[in-house]
Chain A
Amino acid sequence: MKCAKIESLIYLYNELDEREKLYVDVHKDGCASCRSLFVQRGQQHIWIREVGAMPVLAASPPRIKRNIMQAIEANKENSFTEIINIVTMYWLRASLAIASILIAGLFFAQRSADYSRTVLNSTNSVSNGIRLNTPQFLKAHLKRRESANQISFYDCLKQSDSEFLKNLKAN
């Protein structure tokens, strides 16, 4: 049983710590079988190192190097193009974002102007018992738009309630 354990340690002799090596050494000094395996393994280790020192089947270092460097140059060019693409893409994104914000801003500015006018008109109309989106309401509204070329947009907005209601009732 002890020999079996020692044998497995002999295969890993170079990886053992000093205490384990001593344990193997003490045993093999008194055991011919383990000593024989130890000597045999020592010889085999030398042969394996001999093989390790032999050159491998010829390759072509210049060809390997050329292929590597070509691939790297190509990769570098690709990386440069990639950076340009990213920069261009970000510029494009930024421009689109700014344009979107401007359009949204214009939309809301216009909408708020329209809203204040509509609220003014509709409040007046509702308070005067006229329902919205009825032919009566729209007619008055259109009439007011027709006269818009005579007065400024600002004046139109300022048009007083009474004036609007006068138009409304006249129709």
Chain B
Amino acid sequence: MHSPTTPEVIKAAKAGSVKAFETIVDDHQVFAYRVAFRLIGDTQEAEDIVQESFISLWKNLDRYRADLKLTTWLYRIIVNKCLDYFKSTTTKQNKNKVALQFAVALADNNNPEKEFESNELLKVIHDASKLLTPKQRAVFVLRDLEGLEVSEVCEILSISAGNLKSNLYYARLAMSEKLKSFNEHETSYL
């Protein structure tokens, strides 16, 4: 997980310190990229969205309220930009061509079987994610992959707990259907 930025650094960045903002970028860019990549599934697009999001954060820092976590605010900017990306007409045309990936399995020379399983698991989740709407995917990425609290996910997506649960239910149902085959494959090894 990312290290939290101190209030002093945020205050300095709000006052216009580029150096302080650089610290914020250092603290958050890895998770920012990971979220964007998991939602978009394309390295170049994810990079662009991360850059745009940080620039937007810099421009709007004076509007930042201390009662909201900086990470929550940044998540919100990134997710909104990703959802806009899905809404754009050019993206709609290319959406099916995008090779969605949630992660990369690490090469494990000592345990090739484990490496194979990881790759299989990624493939199943990747296939299942194709069936999800952008909102369902956002909820799934934030709650299940990133492990964020329900309240934080609601705040990021500006949705009610009921809306979150309904999107999460359909996302998990789709995942579960695909993962059933993985369940069977896994148990056959036992």
Interface residues of A (CB under 8 A from B): 8, 11-12, 15, 40-41, 43-45, 47-52, 54-61, 63-65, 67-69, 71-73, 75-76
> Are B121's CB and A50's CB within 8 A?
yes
Cα separation A104 to B105 with both chains bound (whole Å): 79
Point out the residue from B29, B102, B104, B182 that lies within 8 Å of A64, measured CB to CB.
Answer: B29
Residues of A within 8 A of B144 (CB): 45, 48-49, 52
Other-chain residue from A49, A50, A68, A73 in contact with B54 (beta carbon distance below 8 A): A68
Cβ contacts under 8 Å, A59 to chain B: 33, 37, 43, 46-47
Q: Enumerate B89-120 residues with CB–CB distance to A below 8 Å.
A: 101-106, 118
User: Across the interface, do B102 and A68 meet the contact criterion of CB distance under 8 Å?
Assistant: no
Taken residue by residue from 1 to 44, chain B's Cβ proximity to chain A (1 for < 8 Å, 0 otherwise) reads as 00000000000000010100110011001100110011000010
> Secondary structure of the B side of the interface?
helix
Residue of A nearest to B46 (CB): A59
B37 touches A57 (CB 8 A): yes
Report if B176 contacts A (CB, 8 A).
Answer: yes
Instruction: Verify A56–B33 contact, CB threshold 8 A.
Output: yes
Question: Shortest CB–CB separation between residue B29 and chain A, in angstroms?
Answer: 6
Q: Measured between C-beta atoms, what is the minimum distance from B90 to chain A in Å?
A: 22
Contacts of A52 in B (CB 8 A): 103, 144-147
Interface residues of B (CB under 8 A from A): 16, 18, 21-22, 25-26, 29-30, 33-34, 37-38, 43, 46-47, 50-51, 54-55, 58-59, 101-106, 118, 121-122, 125, 144-147, 150, 164-165, 168-169, 172-173, 175-176, 179-180, 182-183, 186
Complex Cα spacing A73 to B19, Å? 11
| Total contacts A-B at CB 8 Å | 117
The dominant DSSP class at the A interface is: helix
Is the CB–CB distance between B47 and A57 below 8 Å? Answer: no
Q: Quick one: closest B residue to A73, CB to CB? A: B18
Q: Which residues from chain A contact B164 at a C-beta distance below 8 Å? A: 15
Nearest 10 A/B pairs, CB to CB = A54-B103, A52-B145, A68-B54, A56-B37, A11-B172, A44-B179, A56-B34, A48-B144, A59-B33, A71-B55
Contact present for A68 and B51 (CB under 8 Å): yes
Q: In the complex, A72→B20 CA distance in Å?
A: 12
Cα distance, A43 to B187, chains bound together (Å): 11
Known contacts A55-B103, A59-B43, A75-B58: A69-B22 contact under CB 8 Å: yes
Does A51 contact B54, Cβ atoms closer than 8 Å?
no
A58→B22 CA distance, assembly (Å)? 21
Nearest CB of chain B from residue A124's CB, rounded to whole Å: 70
- A44 to B25, Cβ gap below 8 A? no
6 CB < 8 A contacts A-B: A52-B103, A52-B145, A56-B104, A59-B37, A64-B50, A68-B55
Chain B hits for A51, CB < 8 A = 102-103, 121-122, 125, 145
Question: Could you say which of A12, A65, A68 contacts B169, with CB atoms under 8 Å apart?
Answer: A12
Chain B hits for A67, CB < 8 A: 51
- Return B150 CB to nearest CB of chain A, in Å: 6
The answer for the CA separation of A52 and B29 in the assembled complex, in Å, is 17
